[in-house]
Structure 1
Amino acid sequence: MSTPTTDAVAPAKAAASGDAKTPPPPLVPSTTSAERLTLAKQYGLRPLNVRPPLGEYIRDLTRRWAFIRVLATSTAYAKNQNNYLGQLWAVLNPILNATVYVLIFGILLQLNRGVDNSIAFIVIGVFMYRFIESSVTGGAKSISGKTQLLRSLHFPRAVLPMSTVLSLLTTLVPAIVVMCGITLLSGYIPGYETIHMTWWWLLLPAAVALMWIFNTGLAFLMARFVAGTPDIENVLPFIMRVVMYASGVIFPVTTRVDSLHISEAAKTILTGVLDYQPVSVYLYLVRSVLMTEENMYPHSGLMWVLGAAWAVVFFVIGFIVFWRGEERYGRD
């Protein structure tokens, strides 16, 4: 067996004893910052917690639509899977809420002045407002409650509020079927106006779709605001309660404006604000489609235009506001 030569052994001994004057050459050549950025772009890498350009952000988000859909459906399924009645609670919760409001406001307090079918009025209002309210509260928690997920994985943060609202839409579909059934059956109760199924009912999916877009914009806004200021989440239940009473969910609000001791000009302005604010617009659209009270809810092209306008405005503004805080989510 051959033994190593003195020339080969000397450098190793010198390095081991600490006598070597020059360090061994690096295994990987050193690179400049510009070269590292070039390599990262070449292999599709990018730094974490950096807000990408808006166009790139939108493209990245659209590529993950399948993931958003799966996340939404799994969230909707997991919500009630530990309960004995399971997914039936997605329908039972709005039914119980509507029953309470019908008994208290429609029967005991008789706050159905000007409405020929108060049961249908309240049921539609409660079912559809629950979709809006749940989107606001769910959007508020979509970022603030998922810090560990945000710090562990890299993905467009808009996935979370979008999947939250889509999950609520998934559970709303069977609830809408029940809502329509109750609306029809209420017409057979003595003293309540009969409701017929007409061709206008085909516009119900369009009204719900506009609400979905509008709610997604609300979820974006709430996610950004609550992520930066968590105290807002504690105030939301009180705000949503005020919005409920001011939007005609349980009783027609504008009929009470005439009893106020204010000038006629002030009454006109207040009535316009109450009628054309977004929540009232969407409740109007659904009621005008399902109910037959032409005196209160005539079919109005203006309300459909307003519904589309509110949906686009809130979605665009909410998305941009949310995107501008992309690099802060999970770090604050």
Structure 2
Amino acid sequence: MSKPESHAGPSGSSVTTLTSEQLAALAQEHGLEPVGVRPSLGAYLATMWQRRHFAFRLASSKAYARNQGSYLGQVWAILNPVLWATVYFMVFGLILKTDRGIDNFVGFLVAGVFMFHFVSACISNGAKAITSNQGVITALQFPRALLPVATVLSELFTLLPALLVLLLIVPATDEPLSPAMLLMPVAVLLAWLFGTGIAFICARLVVQFRDVQQLIPFVLRAAMYMSGVFFSIEHYAGDSAFAPLLENQPIAVFLRLVRSTLLEGVPMTPSTWLWAVGWALGTLVIGFIFFWQAEESYGRG
């Protein structure tokens, strides 16, 4: 190691200055890291686990504050998807008659609307997780991945009351109770993992390319019409070459999975579960690594 450099200070006394190599060695000795440098993946995950309570509190605060400015407050968490389901039923069920090939169209539609609005909210709000939290980013030091996690978790908290309503609506449509309904939380959990992975990807893309945020509503609108929210893909796509693509794209998979836990007319198949697990875990892992690789760039403006 090179020796420290000495020079005369303002008062004539000798001042010792450490070289860059000595500073690096001193920082390494005491476990210090430079500011703005991405930590290793293992260290990043460990810090996220240590700060998990921050993400939980942030998510619960977001979910609670969302409708506090209205007279009905948290009731809107239930009313919003119910009203959308009512509109879709009148347009697509009564007018356009898209209920062909569906035994229980009301249950089919309500489950589809609830879950699609959940996934789309995870994507659209998750994409803004960094850009809409600049104040928190500049004030506090924490793994930035906690922001997409908290955003999507807040959507899950908002969905929970709607799921309770869904469990009341479906039996009211003469759908028999079955043990498969116990698997609905697992299906929702997989959709949540998928939404978190997509939020990681979109959050980084929006930071680096702000125009992406303008494109997301168009992508989600296209996804709504291609995911079988208010019609049966199997019935309308039939044996066309596009049928496998439409049936196995992620949003359609999660809608079908949740419906299969609630409706006898939607068969629960091992392939649906495999597709759902693959989309959920694959997107989560790829999205997290993709987000982590740009950790040092978040919050620069």
Asked whether the two chains share a fold, i.e. TM above 0.5, the reply is: yes
Matching residue of 1:312: 281
TM-score, structure 2 normalization: 0.92
Letter in 1 for 2:248: Y
SS at match of 1:124: helix
Aligned partners of 1:218 and 1:92: how far apart in 2? 26
What are the Cα deviations for residues 118-165 of structure 1, in whole angstroms up to 9, with x where unaligned? 111110000001110000011111012222332332211101000001
Matching residue of 1:36: 23
Letter in 2 for 1:197: L
Q: 1:113 aligns with which of 75, 78, 100?
A: 100
State whether structure 2 residue 69 is matched by structure 1 residue 92.
Answer: no
Aligned partners of 1:36 and 1:327: how far apart in 2? 21
Matching residue of 1:322: 291
TM-score, structure 1 normalization: 0.84
Which blocks of at least 5 consecutive residues in structure 2 are unaligned? 1-8
State whether structure 2 residue 189 is matched by structure 1 residue 226.
Answer: no
State whether structure 2 residue 245 is matched by structure 1 residue 284.
Answer: no
The 8 Å contact of residues 254 and 274 in structure 1, kept in 2 or not, is answered as no
Give the alignment's Cα RMSD to 1 decimal.
1.8
- Aligned residue pairs total 293
Task: Identify which range, 55-64 or 145-154, moves more after superposition.
Answer: 145-154
Aligned partners of 2:25 and 2:175: how far apart in 1? 67
State whether structure 2 residue 222 is matched by structure 1 residue 253.
Answer: no
What are the Cα deviations for residues 203-261 of structure 1, in whole angstroms up to 9, with x where unaligned? 01110111111110010011011111111111111110110110101111332224xxx
Matching residue of 1:177: 164
What are the Cα deviations for residues 276-312 of structure 1, in whole angstroms up to 9, with x where unaligned? 111111111111110111xxx2120111111111111
Aligned partners of 1:74 and 1:42: how far apart in 2? 40
Q: List, as ranges, runs of 4+ consecutive aligned residues in structure 1 with deviation greater than 6 Å.
A: none
Aligned partners of 1:39 and 1:81: how far apart in 2? 51
Matching residue of 1:302: 271
Matching residue of 1:4: none
Q: 1:104 to 1:31 in 2, by over 3 A?
A: same
SS at match of 1:141: coil
Cα distance, 1:33 vs. partner?
2.4
Aligned partners of 1:134 and 1:314: how far apart in 2? 17
What are the Cα deviations for residues 13-68 of structure 1, in whole angstroms up to 9, with x where unaligned? xxxxxxx9962344xx4323233334434555422221111111111111111111
Identity value in percent: 42
Aligned partners of 2:93 and 2:166: how far apart in 1? 17
SS at match of 2:264: coil
Aligned partners of 1:280 and 1:45: how far apart in 2? 47
Matching residue of 2:4: none
Letter in 1 for 2:259: R
What are the Cα deviations for residues 168-218 of structure 1, in whole angstroms up to 9, with x where unaligned? 111111110011211221x2xxxxxx2011111110111011111111001
Question: Over alpha carbons, which structure has the higher Rg?
Answer: 1
Aligned partners of 2:11 and 2:62: how far apart in 1? 60
The 8 Å contact of residues 129 and 244 in structure 1, kept in 2 or not, is answered as yes
Letter in 1 for 2:190: L
Q: 2:112 aligns with which of 106, 118, 125?
A: 125
Which blocks of at least 5 consecutive residues in structure 1 are unaligned? 1-19, 188-193, 259-263
Q: 1:146 to 1:195 in 2, by over 3 A?
A: same
